[in-house]
Chains A and B, each alone.
Chain A
Amino acid sequence: MSVATHETRPDTGFSSAQLGLYLFLAADAMFYGALYSSYALLRTAAEHWERGHGAVVGGLGGIALIALAGACLAPRISARPHRVLLGGFLSAALASAGLEGALYALGTPAATSTYWALVYLFNFVLLLHALGGVLVGLWLYLRDGKTPESLDATARLGLSAVYAGATLLFAGGGLAMLLAL
């Protein structure tokens, strides 16, 4: 049985590209699981948990910017929900990068505060995922048309949106945990 990468396989019900992405996300979920686990260890063991109002604004800002970016983009391209999610994802990643830079410039101590170290970590991991997504997107763009069997634009956009949504969920979950607990 020979099935092209972008075609749905009869045995799995997914295309190979979809299955590859889901496997990557499963591995990524475990990576974030390790982060959450470390957070649980540090938070439960901490006798004193430093949490200034700046930290609350920082964590909340990261999540709010994600929602805001999506909401701003939605009316313009409402026919394309995938594009909205991707736009929100990239905006959130850029906002995270800006936020981190601003916090470092303000001299917020990461080395002496576990809370701030975790805020930086979650923001940085989100940024790293965005960078990976951009690099993969660029590679696909440069290779476009050079391979005989490739995903069409809509399928590619859909897969990218799944990736962006899952990453936002993971990183947003971490930041929300930092705020709530």
Chain B
Amino acid sequence: MKKGQQYTSRGLMLAALHYGATSNLAHACATCMGTPGTTQSESVNAALLTMLGVLSLVLGCGAFFVVRMVLLARVTAQHAAVSSSTGLAAQEELES
């Protein structure tokens, strides 16, 4: 990395730290630190659960695909083994 780039990245990092430390926009997480029973914490909980449901569904589909691939690989390997053994037997019969 060149010196100029180093200064730029350091400057950006300092600016980000300064912004994070002095900004009034940052709030504590309403689910972890919020007062239970308030509208804000309940709404954030609802949003989190909705997102969690969608993520579970998508990741579940991904897991199902991986399991399906593993099963498919086993079946393919079994078929290959059976066809090679029957092929060998047929060849032996022909030779004998």
Q: Are A37 and B72 touching (Cβ within 8 A)?
A: no
Cα–Cα, bound, A30→B55 (Å): 7
Known A-B contacts A38-B47, A44-B39, A47-B39; A11 and B72 likewise in contact (beta carbons under 8 Å): yes
B84 within 8 A of A: no
Q: Which residues of A contact B55 (CB under 8 A)?
A: 30, 33
Q: Are B51 and A44 touching (Cβ within 8 A)?
A: no
Please give the distance in Å from B66's CB to the nearest CB on chain A: 10
A34 within 8 A of B: yes
B44 within 8 A of A: yes
Please give the distance in Å from A115's CB to the nearest CB on chain B: 15
Checking B50, B58, B62, B69 against A40 with a beta-carbon cut-off of 8 angstroms, the contacting residue is: B50
Please give the distance in Å from A180's CB to the nearest CB on chain B: 14
B13 within 8 A of A: no
Cα–Cα, bound, A10→B42 (Å): 48
Q: Are A44 and B43 touching (Cβ within 8 A)?
A: yes
Please give the distance in Å from B60's CB to the nearest CB on chain A: 11
Number of A-B contacts (CB under 8 A): 61
Q: In chain A, what residue has the closest Cβ to B69?
A: A12
Give how many B residues have a beta carbon under 8 Å from the other chain's beta carbons: 24
Please give the distance in Å from B38's CB to the nearest CB on chain A: 10
Within 8 A of B (CB), among A14-48: 26, 29-30, 32-34, 36-45, 47
Q: Which residues of B contact A34 (CB under 8 A)?
A: 51
Cα–Cα, bound, A101→B7 (Å): 50
Checking A26, A36, A44 against B61 with a beta-carbon cut-off of 8 angstroms, the contacting residue is: A26
A13 within 8 A of B: yes
Interface string of A85-106 (1 = CB under 8 A from B): 0000000000000000000000
Q: Which residues of B contact A42 (CB under 8 A)?
A: 43
B57 within 8 A of A: yes
B17 within 8 A of A: no
Interface, chain A (partner B; CB < 8 A): 10-13, 26, 29-30, 32-34, 36-45, 47
Question: Can you name 28 A-B pairs with beta carbons within 8 Å?
Answer: A12-B69, A12-B72, A13-B72, A26-B58, A26-B61, A26-B62, A29-B57, A30-B55, A32-B54, A33-B53, A33-B58, A36-B54, A37-B47, A37-B48, A37-B50, A37-B54, A39-B50, A40-B43, A40-B47, A40-B49, A40-B50, A41-B43, A44-B39, A44-B47, A45-B39, A45-B42, A45-B43, A47-B39
Interface, chain B (partner A; CB < 8 A): 39-40, 42-44, 46-51, 53-55, 57-58, 61-62, 65, 68-69, 72-73, 76
